[in-house]
Amino acid sequence: MKKVFFALVGALIFYQLYQTTPPIIQTVKHNDVILYATSWCGYCKKTREFLAENNIQYTEYDVEASEQGRRKFAVLNAKGVPVLDIQGTIIDGYDVSKTKKVLSAANLM
């Protein structure tokens, strides 16, 4: 009985590992807006909400959890979060009016 059980478990594991399903590819361009943030920051949360409310697609880096995000954030010489990079224009902190102006100028809003 144990052999049958282990054979079934092994077959299931093999099936899960070697199942060929095509990868899901999205053609969403996120490189225009990059948000550097942390999970616990209140202003980062507000920035996320602002971007979502305005249907702005963005890439987010958690500067505490992502090594790549930490490196990119360090290059900016930013002192805190959130930091928005909108097509090369850097916005330090939560500044809705400046963010709207930059997004509008970049035809993203």
Let me know if residue 19 belongs to a domain: no
Residue 85 β-bridge partners: 34, 90
The two three-digit tokens of residue 89, written as one number = 């224009």
More confident residue, 25 or 84: 84
Lowest mean pLDDT among 4-8, 40-44, 63-67, 97-101: 4-8
Let me know if residue 79 belongs to a domain: yes
Let me know if residue 20 belongs to a domain: no
Q: What is the mean pLDDT of the chain?
A: 83
Tell me the residue range of the domain where 56 lies. 33-105
Taking the whole predicted model, whether its pTM rises above 0.85 is answered as: no
CA-closest candidate to residue 78, choices 56, 63, 65, 66:
63
Let me know if residue 90 belongs to a domain: yes
The two three-digit tokens of residue 24, written as one number = 């899901």
